[in-house]
Amino acid sequence: MPGIGIPPLEKTIPPIVKRNYGKWIYHEVPRPGVLKHVAESGEECYTVRAGMPANGRVSTALARSICAVADKYAEGHLRITRRQSLELVGVPEAQIDAAIVDLNALGLPVGGVDHTLHNIVACTGWIHCQFAATGAAAISKALSDDLYDIFLKEDLPAKLKVAISGCVNNCGEGITADIGVIGIHRDLPRVDDEKVKKCEMALIISVCPTGAIRPKPPKSVQVDPNRCMHCVACVGQCEGMPIGDPVTDGVAIYVGGKSGNAGSGPNFAKLVIPYLPNTPPRWPETSAAVREIIEAWVAGAHKHERIIDWINRIGWEKFFEKLNIPMTYKQLDGYVLWPMSSRTGVRFHW
Ligand code: SF4
Ligand code: SF4
């Protein structure tokens, strides 16, 4: 129905993209952070990509400044990618240098294309999500600072995607990144009888995937500590079931995820480090673990091998050995239905 929903695509895409819609034949990366797409007609479209602040979160003032740069160099055409990068689309070749200078002046580094670290994705985490076990955006900032030198160059074996999710709901998509940092709770939902009695009891009980929630007469619930897997499913159903503890919450590190079709196709990451503590503001343990994984991959991978392709070649045992991480039963993964599960997700390319 006209007037309902998002604006029609043809009204929002840049003219050069509209002219060549469906007619692109190849693209290349002439320099770090710059993409050149070539159409059948021979027309070339240059795109300048920059890293955005953590969680793609900007002030109104910065948003206006970004729009001004887009007006100046790309006829107002910008987009935010699914990895929370900023792209100016259709920058004239002669103005690329000036556009980069202006983006850098706003504090936005240009890079993150092809064989390098792509912009680190993060969900909102502690900023304003009641499920969060960690500060996803803050970890993204700490890691981005630590890996800044990699982001600016194009000298990794293949693409490197790092993503941070504040909890196992995985809005940050840590499970489909080469390296995922995922917040985990280790405490139980704290049942507040007064608040729970105002919630829909049947819903709270039925939403628990492990059957850990039982009725507690006269009108409340109790959580079985031996069954609860800290999944936060009940937390969103009733404000009387909050979860989270600053001392016991932390993050797990997942490795080997991939959401694209290229090469060996999409893959869910596997748990590699079950727990690291929350240590804001710089999360040194998490930062060190991520850097060690990257360094081991860079040292051992062939050209064009994403982390999972490298691990598949050398074997997971060797990977754990190289990283000096003890393998325990916690790393065993028996979820054989993941391809079926991932095909049902709208964000997974298959
Ligand atoms: S992954 Fe968890 S913490 Fe992050 S936005 Fe989603 S529900 Fe909230
Ligand atoms: S956190 Fe998950 S497993 Fe634990 S009680 Fe709530 S729904 Fe059940």
pLDDT per residue over 302-320, tens digit each? Answer: 999 999 999 999 998 899 9
pLDDT per residue over 161-219, tens digit each? Answer: 999 999 999 998 888 999 999 999 999 999 999 999 999 999 999 999 999 999 999 99
Confirm if 34 and 46 have CB atoms less than 8 A apart: yes
Does residue 99 surpass a pLDDT of 70? yes
Average pLDDT over the chain reads: 92
Q: Which ligand is nearest to the CA of 135?
A: 1
pLDDT per residue over 117-175, tens digit each? Answer: 999 999 999 999 999 999 999 999 999 999 999 999 999 999 999 999 999 999 988 88
Does residue 67 surpass a pLDDT of 80? yes
> 165 CA to middle of ligand 1, Å?
6
Of the candidates 187, 315, 230, 332, the residue with the CA atom closest to the CA atom of residue 272: 332
Q: What is the pLDDT of residue 2?
A: 61
> Which CATH code fits 121-186+246-343?
3.30.413.10
The residue contributing the CA closest to ligand 1 atom 4 is 166
How confident is residue 334, by pLDDT bands cut at 50, 70 and 90?
A: low
Across 257-280, average pLDDT: 89
> φ and ψ at 32, to 5 degrees?
-55, 130
- Which residue in this structure is represented by tokens 């893959």? 267
> Which CATH code fits 9-105?
3.30.70.3340
List Cβ neighbours of 169 (8 Å cut-off, separation of 6 or more). 131, 232
- Cis bond leading into 281, ω under 30°? yes
Confirm if 349 and 259 have CB atoms less than 8 A apart: yes
Q: What is the pLDDT of residue 313?
A: 95
Collapsing DSSP states into helix, strand and coil, what is residue 180? strand
Q: Quick one: residue 218, left, alpha or beta (phi over 0 = left, psi -120 to 50 = alpha)?
A: alpha
* CA distance from start to end of the chain: 30
Confirm if 272 and 317 have CB atoms less than 8 A apart: no
List Cβ neighbours of 42 (8 Å cut-off, separation of 6 or more). none
Q: What is the pLDDT of residue 344?
A: 66
Collapsing DSSP states into helix, strand and coil, what is residue 138? helix
Share of the chain above pLDDT 90, in %: 83
> 48 CA to middle of ligand 1, Å?
30
Share of the chain above pLDDT 70, in %: 95
How confident is residue 331, by pLDDT bands cut at 50, 70 and 90?
A: confident
> 90 CA to middle of ligand 1, Å?
34
Confirm if 225 and 187 have CB atoms less than 8 A apart: no
The residue contributing the CA closest to ligand 2 atom 4 is 228
> 334 CA to middle of ligand 2, Å?
20
Domain extent listing, the chain: 9-105, 121-186+246-343
Does residue 264 surpass a pLDDT of 90? no
Does residue 222 surpass a pLDDT of 60? yes
Distance separating alpha carbons of residues 205 and 222, to the nearest angstrom: 10
Confirm if 56 and 80 have CB atoms less than 8 A apart: yes
Across 243-260, average pLDDT: 93
Distance separating alpha carbons of residues 223 and 226, to the nearest angstrom: 9
Q: What is the dihedral of CA 310, 313, 317, 323, to 10 degrees?
A: -20
Q: What is the pLDDT of residue 342?
A: 65
Top mutation candidate among 128, 130, 165, 181 for ligand 1, by most atoms within 8 Å of CB: 165
CA angle, residues 291, 303, 96, in degrees to nearest 5: 80
Identity of the amino acid at 30 = P
Q: What is the pLDDT of residue 261?
A: 79
Confirm if 29 and 154 have CB atoms less than 8 A apart: yes
Confirm if 253 and 272 have CB atoms less than 8 A apart: yes
pLDDT per residue over 41-52, tens digit each? Answer: 999 999 999 999
- Cis bond leading into 280, ω under 30°? no
The residue contributing the CA closest to ligand 2 atom 7 is 208
The residue contributing the CA closest to ligand 1 atom 8 is 129
